[in-house]
Structure formats: C-alpha cells, structure tokens
Structure 1
C-alpha cells in the first residue's frame, strides 16, 4: 500500500510536471495562430489590392496615357545651341555720353546645317546692328557690329558706369535647308523652330581705364571693319579665259598697221 501510494503520489507529481508545460504553451499556440491569421489576412488584402490595380490599369486604357519620364525629361533639357558667341553673354560699349559707340560680337555656326540668326533689342530707337541678321554655313563665322547712342545722365542720375543698363539684346537662330537669301520674315513664318540663343546684357567700359575687355573690343571692331571691306569688293571673275588672247590682239594690231601703211603708199603714188 505504501508503494502504491508513493506510486500514485509520484505519478501525480509526474503528470503535474508534464501538464505545466502544456498549460504554458497554450498561449504561444494561440499567439502563433493569431500570427498565421494576420499573415493570411495580409495575403488576402494584397491579393485584393493587386486585383484592384489590375482593374484600374485595364480601365485606364480608355484614357490617354500619361507622358513618359523620358518625354518629360527631354522637355526640361535646355535647347541645344546652334551658335557660339564671343563674348558669350555681354556686349561691351565704351562709355562716351552724347556719342554713338560701337560694340562687336563674333557669331559662329557650330551645327552641321545652315543656320540663320537675327538680332532683337529692347531699345530699337537708339540701337541697331550690322548686319541685323544673316545665314551662316556650317563652321562659318562673322563679327557683327552693334551701334548704340549713349545719353547723358540726368542731374539726379548716376552715370551708366555705376548702374546696370536696362538695354538688352537677344540673338535668335533658325535652322534652314541650305544656302539662301536672308529674309527676316522667315523667323515669323517658322516660329515653332526658332531658338533663343542668348540674351546679352550691355556693359559700359571706362575709356580712361585700360582693360582686357576693352582691348578685345578694339581687335574685334578692326576685324569687323576688315570683313565689311572684303564683302564690298566685287567678286572676282573666275570664268574661262581664251588661251592666247594677247597673241590675237597683237596680230590684229599688225594687220592694221600694214593696212595703214599700204593706204599711205597708195596715196603717195596717186599724187
């Protein structure tokens, strides 16, 4: 009986020890079940969201497609330059109040096609350009001269050397098919293809203070005058020339002299 009681007691203790872990694991099992349930719910939700996305995508086919990233990026890119300017963004003028002064800018066609350019200014009454526009072949360049009248400052105004000038110039370019005569109206007829190359600011230089900008301006003005004189020259006649043209003229002179000599001899004989 003692043994039986001990066994029963021992067995009760053993079952108690085995029961305790099961009681402690029961919450973990329920928590794992809840985690599995949440995972299943998340997958179901993802499935529904994917279906909605697909349905929306199918429904969007009837609407116009949104612009692609590439097209938007291209629209934001700056326009490719067709001309190279020197100076690139400014026009330098000597400051001489009450006189008409000159500036110069070199324009070169850096594209692979013929390009027409055109000047515009915010002060057309006091400024003009020579030439106001032209057509340049690929790689061709010229130096344009810009004229401006410098007004005297008013009593209460500062000289233009100490303040920013409000006058600005704009250079526009237009790609053309080939060599042709320059017509300003072509910029109005093809507005969609006109590109603004640069907006130039006016900078006045002090005549009493030598500077690198002023020395460069004098060199460009001299080159512009030389180019103008070259354009004024009549084109050379490169047509075919008669071989021996001088010999023909000399032979004609000899025949004429012999004819006159015979006339004189005949006159003497008749006398």
Structure 2
C-alpha cells in the first residue's frame, strides 16, 4: 500500500497499530464471542482511521495574512500589538483557536471562534516586549514566542467552546505557525504600515460588532438583553402589580 514519499505501509506496521484484545474470564462462549467481535470492530476502526490520516492528510481550511510571521513594533517594556487576518476558504463552517508558546506575555483577541463559509476576521495579538538582557539584540527576542492557529470543521449553529478541539482531535488541522519578527517602531517600513492598517480594520470590526443591529421592533443589545419599550412595559406592569397588592392589604 503506497504512502506519501513512495514508502509502503508494511504488514508489521499495520499489526503494530492493532490493539491486543482479550476476552478475560468469560462466563460463556457467547460472551466471549461478543467481546471478540466488539474488539475486532474497535480495532478495525482504529487502524482504518490511522491509515486514512496517513494517506489522506486533512487540507487547510483557512488562509492567513500574514502566513508565516507576526510583525511587532519593538518597544521594550511596553505591550505592543500585531494582527493577522483569517479567511475561511471552504464551504463549511470552521472553528479556529490560537495557541502560543508564551501565554504569560501574549494573548489574542478573539482567542477563538467560528467563521462561516467565505467569512474573514482580523485577530489582534498582544505581546509584552521584555527588556533586553546581556546586550541582547532585537532580532534575538523573536525566537521566544510562536503562535499556532488550528482549525476544525463544525456544523452550522454550533456554539464555540475550546473543548471542541479536544473532542475531535483527529479532525484538527494546524493552519500555520507564526513566528515573531520585531521591527523598528521609529522607522517606517512596509511591514509596520501593513500592521497599522490591519489593526485599524480590527478596531473598526470590533466596534461594529458592539453596535446593535438596526431592525424594526424592539431592539436587542449586543449582550442579548431586551431594552427600550419592552423593558418599560414590564417595569410598568410590575409597578401596577405592587400597587394592587398594597391596596388589597
């Protein structure tokens, strides 16, 4: 059975992937046969999923911009920002999640979410720039932090929770590993100008998401609480109930 690179998956490798099953001290031959069948079905499923992952690796679902590096202005002792655009290039809903090797000095907004087919989003990445030590150069600090973006295909209407990626580990795809690159904050460069444009777009998108949709009828705030006339009606109704209760006494 050929695999990538022209190698063959030998019988020995397949056998090593097959879990050893035992029926234990069965009380009857029926129970022993049933346990053996269940074991065989589970083993076949395990082997087939492993072979399928080797022969048909999952394709990337997102397009990242930038795709390899995150550019940060170099300002020691300060928290700086960078940005990356995520674009869902599939026809399915895709969940994404950020991971970093430096969680104490870095965080992302949003740290995860779900993108509809064709939808895009600019995520803002925050990083605290440490003071250089022992004549450390600006370029040396880029090795201290990396960011990984992973994705998972989900059904429409599913709510995002980080545990989704733990429940379906075999369907998770690493979309990219972004390395940190520092640029001189006082010197104009194409990389720094692009980061500033993306950050401006990210801030605008965040403000747009905070605004309630302009629709007819009662308006709903971003947090999901009913406001305006429906709230006023309920308050008046409760006030009348209290007055009637006092009069009855």
Q: Partner residue of 1:209?
A: 187
- Contact 1:135 1:179 survives alignment (8 Å): no
Q: Partner residue of 2:72?
A: 93
- Contact 2:58 2:171 survives alignment (8 Å): no
- Contact 1:118 1:171 survives alignment (8 Å): yes
In 1, Cα distance between equivalents of 2:164 and 2:142:
33
The counterpart of 2:158, out of the listed 167, 172, 180, is: 180
Q: Partner residue of 1:223?
A: 201
In 2, Cα distance between equivalents of 1:219 and 1:162:
26
Distance 1:181 1:74, change over 3 A: closer
TM-score normalised over the length of structure 1: 0.59
The counterpart of 1:190, out of the listed 168, 178, 199, is: 168
- Contact 1:116 1:136 survives alignment (8 Å): yes
Aligned pairs, number: 172
Q: CA deviation at 1:88?
A: 0.8
In 2, Cα distance between equivalents of 1:219 and 1:84:
18
Distance 1:94 1:78, change over 3 A: farther
Say whether 1:199 aligns with 2:181: no
TM-score normalised over the length of structure 2: 0.64
In 1, Cα distance between equivalents of 2:145 and 2:121:
23
Q: Which has the higher helix share?
A: 1
Q: CA deviation at 1:148?
A: 0.4
- Contact 1:161 1:206 survives alignment (8 Å): no
Say whether 1:115 aligns with 2:115: no
Q: CA deviation at 1:127?
A: 0.5
- Map Cα deviations across residues 159-199 of structure 1 (whole Å, 9 max, x no partner): 22355422100000000011332111111111111111111
Which runs of 5 or more residues in structure 2 are unaligned?
A: 1-10, 16-49, 219-249
In 2, Cα distance between equivalents of 1:162 and 1:74:
37
- Map Cα deviations across residues 37-75 of structure 1 (whole Å, 9 max, x no partner): xxxxxxxxxxxxxxxxxxxxxxx9xx98xxxxxx98983
Distance 1:174 1:209, change over 3 A: same
Which runs of 5 or more residues in structure 1 are unaligned?
A: 1-59, 65-70, 241-271
Matches within 5 A, 1:55-204: 75=54, 79-154=58-133, 156-162=134-140, 164-204=142-182
